[in-house]
Homo-oligomer: A and B are copies of this chain.
Amino acid sequence: MSYRVGIINVTGFAGMEAARLLWNHPGAHIASVTGRSLAGQRLGEAFPHLEVYGDLRIGEEIEGDVDIVMSAMPTAASAAVCAPFVRAGVPVIDIAADFRLRDPKAFERWFGQPHPAPEMLSQAVYGLPELYAAEIRESKLVANPGCYPAASILAMAPAVKAGIVRGPVIVDAKSGISGAGRGTGGSFGYSEVNEDVSAYKIANHNHQPEIAQELAALTVGEAPRVTFVPHLVPMTRGIHATCYAPLMRDVSQAEVDDLYGEFYAKAPFTRVSKTPPHTKHTLGNNMCLVHPFVDRENGMLVSIGVLDNLVKGAAGQAIENMNLMLGMEQDAGLDLPAVYP
Contacts and interface: CB of A to CB of B under 8 A. Distances in A.
B191 A182 contact: yes
Interface residues of A, number: 85
A64 B49 CA distance: 39
B190 A188 contact: yes
Given A20-B337, A185-B186, A235-B194, A168 B300 contact: yes
Contact of A47 (B196, B297, B304, B340): B340
Interface string A180-195: 1011111111111111
B196 A279 contact: yes
Contacts of A293: 202-203
A237 B195 contact: yes
Interface in A155-179: 168, 170, 172, 174, 176-178
A interface SS class: mixed
Contacts of A285: 49
Interface in A190-217: 190-200, 202-203
A77 interface: no
Interface of A: 13, 16, 20, 23-24, 47-52, 168, 170, 172, 174, 176-178, 180, 182-200, 202-203, 225-227, 229, 231, 233-238, 240, 242, 244, 246, 271, 273, 276-285, 289, 291, 293, 295, 297-300, 302, 304, 306, 335-341
Given A168-B300, A190-B190, A202-B293, 14 more contacts: A20-B338, A20-B340, A23-B335, A49-B337, A49-B339, A170-B172, A170-B300, A176-B191, A183-B185, A184-B185, A184-B189, A191-B236, A225-B297, A225-B298
